[in-house]
Amino acid sequence: MKPRVAVVKTDIGVKEAAQRAVTLLGGIETFVEPGETALLKPNLFTVKDPDTGATTDMRVVLGVAELLQQQNSHCILGECPATGSYTRPDIVFDGLGVRALCESHGIEVNVLDRDPPVRVEVDGDVLKELWFPETAAKHPVISFPKLKTHQLTTLTCAVKNLFGLQQGGTKAHHHVSVANDPESFSRLLVDIYQAIRPQVRLHVVDAHVAMEGEGPTAGDPVPLGLVIAGSDAVAVDIVSSAIMGWDPMDVGTNYLAGARGLGPSSLDEVEVIGETIDAVRRRFRKPQIHSDGEMFVRIRMPIHCDPEKCVSCGVCAEVCPVGAIQIRGVPEFDYTKCIQCFCCAELCPQGALKPMRLDE
């Protein structure tokens, strides 16, 4: 049977669209049994609000949480915020108003960086073991990705969102462990998906306001007006890529996961319900370092700093996993150390940093 992916317009309301998508897929009881506790995992890696296209719109989360609560299931919202992992994780929950919102809706909040880590074995291409927060390892997970471009992986959606279940400095360790070779990093992301896949029951993508260009932080918002949902992360990402006007197999994680048998290997192997792809397709600009037909970036690029945006906050130096950045008014880069992970550009609060492709 083909995996199904629901595509629903948000003109009926963002919360209502999320609920409609779940209903089209068979109802929330199809994924979480009545009375079960579920972990709700949005993309809350920074304090930029959903209308910028950077973080998950909490209306999508609340729509699904309401369905869970109607069947007496307990909801825990949890995340390992990439920005906060290097400083104070609470800063993201508090800065976005998520904690107060959850408290008012009866949803428990858990900073997953503080959970006891649980070891999971995986026969991956890069990794043979992984550690996940205990809450994610013991409860069914519903993931709420944001539909965005990504400077390293081209797309960040269902598969990439699960990288957010890696605690604290583990994210940086993963970047260093593969020397941030784009193909190896994509294989590592698929390893993470393979390891946690049995726990993840459903993926509900916030594509109400998506992002194109220099994602996942400094791109441009796209008012796409959709919620995309399915139980198979690869199927969801394939449909999302097609909606973005791309060949889904140009996205490395799609191709690698399909080749490994972890999901469909083409759009023909997915059943789309709700809106048709043709009816909602909108061509997205890729980050400028990516070319059409190029699955993995193969060149090294300098990082450009816009001095008009830079406020010398030092976040880039803090998050650089190899210590390649020093702040002297503006960031200075040691390219003998730089592994091209682009964490500095991804987590710059001002969007002042951008990798530059110089061969075109």
Residue-wise pLDDT tens digits, 302-332: 999 999 999 999 989 988 989 999 999 899 9
Task: Indicate whether 360 pLDDT > 80.
Answer: no
Task: Indicate whether 221 pLDDT > 90.
Answer: yes
CATH T-level assignment (fold) for domain 303-355: Alpha-Beta Plaits (3.30.70)
For range 239-262, the mean pLDDT: 98
Whether 4-280 and 303-355 share one fold: the answer is no
Quote the mean pLDDT of the chain.
94
* Domain extent listing, the chain: 4-280, 303-355
* Per-residue model confidence (pLDDT) at position 82: 77
- Per-residue pLDDT band for 299 (boundaries 50, 70, 90) equals confident
- In CATH, the architecture of 4-280 is 3-Layer(aba) Sandwich (3.40)
Question: To the nearest whole percent, how much of the chain has pLDDT over 70?
Answer: 98
Task: Indicate whether 357 pLDDT > 80.
Answer: no
343 and 320 in contact (C-beta within 8 Å)? yes
Structure tokens, 206: 């916030």
- Per-residue pLDDT band for 293 (boundaries 50, 70, 90) equals confident
* Per-residue model confidence (pLDDT) at position 294: 78
Helix (H) or strand (E) holding 328: strand 325-328
* Per-residue model confidence (pLDDT) at position 87: 55
Three-state DSSP class for residue 16: helix
Distance (Å, whole) CA 178 – CA 184:
6
Residues 6 or more apart in contact with residue 186 via CB below 8 angstroms = 153, 252, 253, 256, 296
Task: Report phi then psi at 337, rounded to 5.
Answer: -100, -30
Task: Indicate whether 83 pLDDT > 70.
Answer: no
CA angle 256, 261, 266 (to 5 degrees): 65
Task: Indicate whether 30 pLDDT > 70.
Answer: yes
* Per-residue model confidence (pLDDT) at position 300: 83
